[in-house]
Amino acid sequence: MSSNSFHPPVRTLMGPGPSDVNPRVLEALSRPTIGHLDPAFVGMMDEVKVLLQYAFQTRNELTMPVSAPGSAGMETCFVNLVQPGDKVIVCRNGVFGGRMKENVERAGATAIMVEDPWGRAVDPQKLEDALKAHPDASLVAFVHAETSTGALSDAETLVKLAHEHGCLTIVDAVTSLGGVPVKVDEWEIDAIYSGSQKCLSCVPGLSPVSFGEAALERIRNRTHPVQSWFMDLNLVMGYWGSGAKRAYHHTAPVNALYALHEALVILQEEGMEKAWARHMYHHGALRAGVEAMGLELIVPEGERLPQLNAVSIPEGVEDAAVRGALLSEYNLEIGAGLGELAGKIWRIGLMGFACNRTNVLYCLGALDAVLTAMGAKIDSGRAVAAARAWYGANG
């Protein structure tokens, strides 16, 4: 069998990630590959570190992209900071908290779970109760922006509580970075990881991470070697570390790093505050449209992510058929519900480059048309007008 070149369809990506990639980033990806120890490349790596420090709002020296997707950034944090026999408090209010639990247990430690309903933020009171009940815990982990439900937790408060009880913190900022404020130094986060393909609007496959001094000290003082050779930061530092001799550790994904560099330059050009405001702004219009249709956002106001909108599926509507029609007729991707929310919600992403007025109006118009054609019980024909009115009223 012979195959031809693969040409993907051109989609509008408004799911939980990957999000639409700026053409500037795709162009950067196609620049000539050079050696990963080439002085020109090493110079670019140094810029990536500085740009990531800006994105994370940190001066942490160890701020760099892991050469693998967000899940590998998660694993990098856990395998380096957790030792066998440790007790780790994991807050779970969606899918990704469950994945943290897996990481803790596979590292030979015990996970103490703090459970909150899916669609709600992590309750600081429950974390405090768990910290009091488990004074021997050494680490607290939580998801800042739960992409599976659209809930935003109060990272600053949760980190403060952890520190009051002598715990370090691991924060999942895969979906939050670039979409809502993430302030690593101000909030004193010890270890944090993100992903390239959500609000940074880069191609998938890289995971920016950052580690503060207390986390590094714990890593240096480990009594058990890190069980992952690839993710052992003691080794990775020889390649990415400051003043490192750039010794060969693994072959960096050279072109993917050009892409991340470009995505971060774009973010710097816009400015973090403006990027956060843009996500909030278009979320306002999307919300107006969704509610005018008679659908609901399942996360209570005040705990909602602007970049990931969990919308209730109307009674009697077949989830997959709607998403299928949006994809085939409109080249539009929105996300399905995960886990206990499967079949109950759609997840409409407004991430990074995809977060703009054209997409908001396009998505509302398409959803309205598809649902109306299926005979769904919605207020047909109102969504786009409501969003346009919202834009009109909010400049």
Ligand X SMILES: *Cc1c(COP(=O)(O)O)cnc(C)c1O
Question: Could you tell me which of 298, 316, 308, 292 has the C-alpha nearest to residue 365?
Answer: 292
Which CB atom, from 210 or from 293, has the smaller least distance to ligand X?
Answer: 210
Query: According to CB under 6 A, which one of 58, 175, 309, 359 is a site residue for ligand X?
Result: 175
Q: Which is nearer to ligand X, 144 or 218 (CB)?
A: 144
CA atoms within 13 A on the CB side of 150: 30
> What gap in Å lies between CA 59 and CA 183, rounded to an integer?
11
Nearer to ligand X, 65 or 289 (CB): 65
From 22-30, 133-141, 171-179, 299-307, span contacting ligand X (CB under 6 A): 171-179
Check binding of 174 to ligand X (CB under 6 A).
yes
In the complex, what is the shortest distance from the CB of residue 368 to ligand X, in angstroms, rounded to a whole number?
27
**Window of 29-37, 64-72, 162-170, 382-390 that interacts with ligand X by CB under 6 A:** 64-72
Closest distance of CB 362 from ligand X, Å: 23
Q: What is the residue whose two structure tokens read 């993907």?
A: 8
Q: Mask 182-221, x = binds ligand X (CB under 6 A)? A: -------------x--------x-----------------
Q: Which is nearer to ligand X, 63 or 103 (CB)?
A: 103
User: 191-193 and 207-211: which strand pairing?
Assistant: antiparallel
Site residue total, ligand X (CB under 6 A): 13
Question: Site map for ligand X, 87-106, x if CB under 6 A?
Answer: ---------x----------
Query: What is the helix (H) or strand (E) element at residue 151, kind and residue range?
Result: strand 151-152
Check binding of 333 to ligand X (CB under 6 A): no
Question: Which of 305, 360, 301, 296 is CA-nearest to residue 334?
Answer: 360
Size of the chain, expressed as the number of residues it contains: 395
Please give the structure tokens belonging to residue 352. Answer: 């990074």
Q: What is the dihedral of CA 26, 30, 34, 37, to 10 degrees?
A: 10
Output the smallest distance, CB 193 to ligand X, in A.
8
Is residue 22 within 8 Å of 353, Cβ to Cβ?
yes
140's tokens: 């607290």
- 139 to 158, contacts with ligand X by CB under 6 A? 143, 147
Using the minimum distance from each CB to ligand X, give the nearer residue, 17 or 212.
Answer: 17
Q: Indicate which single residue of 12, 55, 66, 69 sits in contact with ligand X (rule: CB under 6 A).
A: 69
Counting contacts by CB under 6 A, is residue 230 touching ligand X? no
| Min separation Cβ 204 and ligand X, Å | 6
Residue of 70, 119, 179, 349 that binds ligand X (CB under 6 A): 70
- SS3 of residue 137 by DSSP: coil
* 208 touches 64 (CB < 8 A): yes
Query: Which burial class, exposed, middle or buried, applies to 101 when counting CB atoms under 10 A from its CB (0-12, 13-18, 19+)?
Result: middle
64 versus 325: smaller Cβ distance to ligand X: 64
Q: Which stretch binds ligand X (CB under 6 A): 167-175, 241-249, 321-329, 347-355?
A: 167-175
- Euclidean distance between CA atoms 307 and 304, whole angstroms: 9
Torsion of CA 223, 227, 231, 236, to 10 degrees: 50
Residue 252 CB, nearest approach to ligand X (Å): 17
Please state the closest distance from residue 97 (CB atom) to ligand X, in A. Answer: 9
**Nearest alpha carbon to residue 134 among 94, 99, 165:** 165
By CB under 6 A, tell whether 118 contacts ligand X: no
Shortest approach of ligand X to residue 50 CB, angstroms?
23
Q: Which of 101, 139, 110 is nearest to 218 (CA)?
A: 139
Spatial contact of 317 and 337, defined as CB atoms under 8 Å apart? no
CA distance 371 to 318: 10
Residue number, nearest CB to ligand X: 70
Query: With respect to ligand X, which residue has the nearer C-beta, 71 or 268?
Result: 71
* Contacting positions for ligand X (CB under 6 A): 17, 69-71, 74, 96, 143, 147, 172, 174-175, 195, 204
